Amino acid sequence: MYISHPCPPGTPSKTFEQESQPPCTLLLHQNSPRTMSGAVSKSLEGPDGGRPGWVAVLALWTRNLMEIGITKGLGIMLPTLQIQLTSQMWILGWIASLTSATGGFVAPFGGLVSRRFGAGYVMLTCGVMMGAAAIAGSFVENSLQLALLYTLLAGTAKGISNVVAKEAVGRCFTKNYATANGIARTGSSVRLIVFAPLVQLFLDTYGWRGTMLLVGALIMHSVASGAVMVATRQPELDQSNAYQTLPQTEHTNSSSAHESTLHSHCGAVQRIHFGGGGVFPFVTIAGIANLFGKISQGPITDRGVMSSWTLVAVCLAMSSVSYLASSLLTSYWPMMTSAVLILFSDGVLSCQMDVLIKQVLGVELLAGAFGWIGLKVTLLLVTLGFLPGLVYDLTGSYTAAFLLIGSVQAVPLVPLLMLRYSQR
């Protein structure tokens, strides 16, 4: 889309032929309002995102909510599956890890399939694949069959759908992208509160085969959001790449650093300091803090209270200091405060890193960026995710593990500041 713009003052005098030409035109910035497919909208007026945008938010929210039926659901059923499938616990745990790893390995292909088939059809297909994996899993007779179903179907759909849905949200929103992204990501917070007791209820009532059937049926509801995306008009993709020359530095490593360390913290804190009675309120309050972080970060940056760069730097520093302080804390409420700060920071960072990626690389490179970040996160989790546990095994204390995690959390501050000042 082009708009008229007078030539700047001070330009050389023009000939008669030049003066008879229409005014100079400038291509609109990549952050112009766009539809879900990335095409520039026909008007600069109208609500940010529009119907395609909120349909994309619904698709990402539903995808984040239903994803845990594959990972968390399998984790809750591990003791039962160990007996019923006559398998070893490490094999079943390895299936869950391999499913997540497969999602990371296929993530770079998310942008390709989205451009080839359309975001709506891809989300619809991924919903069918994840639901089919759980439903077919109710008929397996051994762990090998379960591994093949979850890895090939659920793992692939998990990685592809994550990239496609996040890119769809990024294409539709400009002014309110952080808010929309935060709302969509609350699905992952809600799933932690809802799915764990729900799966346990299914398991106690219907057994593991019935539980898998019911979980698969629930996951199939994500097909509806994909169908709505298909029904939403998606103009042709704008293939321009105005941001192609911007430096793609390693500031995105903060997301992988945070994911690789977050999950070990709560379990370590619970085992060191509390008995079983203190675990549930501890995790619940920290989870609410994570949900609040995702909701609050949008208005902070979208309304200009604080820039994304500043907010990310503050949360990285707060998370790092909280981890380091956890190595010295021994009582309940100080540890609760530390966990709340860490989970709040995680909620903010999980949303704001997407905002920074869009600011630096532009909307046309979102799919590739999300895909390669997913691959990097997976590689780091596979190669370094065991370090906190190994440190505990060697030292017999989580003090050194917390110090290691806190130090890792501070590392992304360096490339973040370098990238920030390189853009000035």
The token pair at 365 is 């490179």
- Domain CATH for 112: 1.20.1250.20
Same domain? 304 vs 213: no
Q: Is residue 274 part of a domain?
A: yes
Other beta carbons within 10 Å of 409:
27
Burial 224-260 (b: 16+ CB within 10 A, else e): ebbbbbeebebeebbeeebbeeeebeebbbbbbbbbb
Is the distance from CB of 40 to CB of 50 less than 8 angstroms?
no
Same domain? 168 vs 272: no
pLDDT, position 2: 39
DSSP code of residue 8: P
Q: Is residue 30 part of a domain?
A: no
The token pair at 325 is 């302080």
Same domain? 279 vs 164: no
Same domain? 259 vs 119: no
How many residues can be counted in the chain?
Answer: 424
Other beta carbons within 10 Å of 4:
9
The boundaries of the domain holding residue 84 are 50-231
Other beta carbons within 10 Å of 314:
13
Same domain? 281 vs 417: yes
Other beta carbons within 10 Å of 361:
20
Q: Is residue 155 part of a domain?
A: yes
Q: Is residue 217 part of a domain?
A: yes
Cβ-defined contacts of 83-87 (< 8 Å, 24+): 84/208, 85/140, 85/141, 85/142, 85/143, 85/146, 86/142, 87/142, 87/143
Same domain? 150 vs 277: no
Q: CB neighbours of 263 closer than 8 A, spacing ≥ 6?
A: none
Q: Is residue 14 part of a domain?
A: no
Answer with the one of 203, 231, 259 that is the final residue of a domain.
Answer: 231
DSSP 18-86: HHTSPPPEEEPPTTS-B-TTSPBPS-S-S-SSHHHHHHHHHHHHHHHHHHHHHHHHHHHTHHHHHHHTT
Q: Phi and psi of 230, rounded to 5°?
A: -65, -40
The DSSP H or E segment spanning 4 is strand 2-4
pLDDT in tens, the chain (424 residues): 434 444 444 444 444 334 444 433 333 333 444 334 333 334 333 356 788 889 999 999 999 888 876 777 787 888 888 888 888 877 887 888 888 889 999 999 998 999 899 899 999 999 999 999 999 999 999 989 999 999 999 999 999 999 999 999 988 888 889 999 999 999 888 877 777 788 888 989 999 999 999 999 999 988 999 999 998 865 344 444 333 333 333 333 444 444 444 444 444 444 544 544 455 566 677 778 888 999 999 999 988 899 899 999 999 999 999 989 988 887 778 888 888 898 899 899 989 989 988 888 888 888 888 999 888 888 887 777 677 767 777 887 778 878 888 888 888 898 888 888 877 6
Q: Is residue 241 part of a domain?
A: no
Q: Judge if pTM exceeds 0.85.
A: no
* Distance between CA atoms of residues 340 and 293, nearest Å: 10
pLDDT, position 300: 93
DSSP code of residue 14: P
Answer with the one of 231, 260, 286 that is the final residue of a domain.
Answer: 231
Same domain? 204 vs 258: no
Same domain? 256 vs 189: no
Q: For residue 241, what are the CA distances in angstroms to 2, 30, 165?
A: 16, 8, 20
Cα torsion 180, 28, 368, 293 to 10°: value is -20
Same domain? 334 vs 380: yes
* Distance between CA atoms of residues 310 and 333, nearest Å: 28
Question: 25 - beta bridge partners?
Answer: 4
Same domain? 227 vs 256: no
The SS3 assignment for 307 reads: coil
Is the distance from CB of 68 to CB of 192 less than 8 angstroms?
yes
* Distance between CA atoms of residues 311 and 314, nearest Å: 5
Same domain? 143 vs 283: no
Number of structural domains, the chain? Answer: 2
* Distance between CA atoms of residues 158 and 106, nearest Å: 9
The token pair at 397 is 């204390």
